[in-house]
Structure 1
Amino acid sequence: RPLQLTLALLKPDAVAHPLVLEAVHDTILSNRFLIVRAKELRCGREESRRFYREHADSPASASREIAFFFPEFNEELWYQQEEPRLRCGQVYYNAEERVHCVVGDEGRELP
């Protein structure tokens, strides 16, 4: 069964408090979610309005939302190349980058 991409956004109130941010991050990890990309980003008021105006719960909208925050991320390529390796391989958590990686990919650039 393939992995499913989910976008998690942490709002400014959570990010402003290091202990809250760490608790949210620990909750994500303890619930066995894999973090495949992470980015700290500040959105202006207009970007936020545009994002929430287009927000809906569907696979198509999820793809648009991921592309909104990660324009360099190629979802199709991820499902072809990374997803099978994450699902079937030995995965480790890279605490410095705050993402999960496949064992043996050390030093390899993420597409």
Structure 2
Amino acid sequence: QAVHAAILRHRFLIVRAKELRCGAEQSRRFYREHAGRFFYQRLVEFMASGPMWAYILAHENAIPLWRSLMGPTKVFRARHSHPDSIRGAYGLTDTRNTTHGSDSPASASREIAFFFPEFDERRWYEQDEPRLRHAHCVLRAQQAQVT
């Protein structure tokens, strides 16, 4: 709930969200780019250890903004240098650091398809995103007139 509240507080648009459970095989597929690295098995085990929430978030410059809000991957560093970040506040270990975030638009597309196979990203960008952007601009203009 605290992560969800942080998402809303930083004015991300929640495009899709769902609670899910990944099994070991699905977790291995998600983290396959890390296979062979010393932390791979811990990532897989943690991801498969219980329920989690997956989100598609939208915001101007969403990837760098989300990564900044998450804070450093290393929890010790996050606690000291970014104590108000999600990982600084809620991370337990470097593996159990509370959140994951795509590091590029290509990774985001791949990860969205992994967790939300029914989501048509191209359609969203062509049809839904422009309407939401326009509605956001109209709301901002109305807010400016009120204040």
Deviates more, 1:76-85 or 1:52-61: 52-61
Deviation at 1:57, TM superposition (A): 2.8
Q: 2:103 matched to which residue of 1? A: 57
Q: 1:32 matched to which residue of 2? A: 11
- Larger relative helix fraction: 2
Using the size of structure 2 for normalisation, the TM-score is 0.44
Deviation at 1:23, TM superposition (A): 1.1
Residue 2 of structure 2, aligned match among 23, 32, 35: 23
Using the size of structure 1 for normalisation, the TM-score is 0.57
For 1:1-16, list aligned pairs within 5 A.
Answer: none
Q: Could you tell me the percent identity over the aligned residues?
A: 77
Deviation at 1:58, TM superposition (A): 2.6
Q: 2:115 matched to which residue of 1? A: 69
Correspondence 1:83 to 2:62 = no
Residue 46 of structure 1, aligned match among 22, 25, 41: 25
Q: 2:63 matched to which residue of 1? A: none
Specify every segment of 5 or more residues in structure 2 that has no aligned partner in the other structure, as ranges: 35-101, 137-147
Q: How many positions carry a matched residue from both structures?
A: 70
Matched to 1:28, the amino acid is I
Specify every segment of 5 or more residues in structure 1 that has no aligned partner in the other structure, as ranges: 1-21, 91-111
Larger Rg: 2
Distance in 2 between residues matched to 1:54 and 1:39, nearest whole Å:
24
Matched to 1:60, the amino acid is A
Q: Which structure has the higher relative contact order (CA within 8 Å, separation 6+)?
A: 1
Moved over 3 A (4+): none
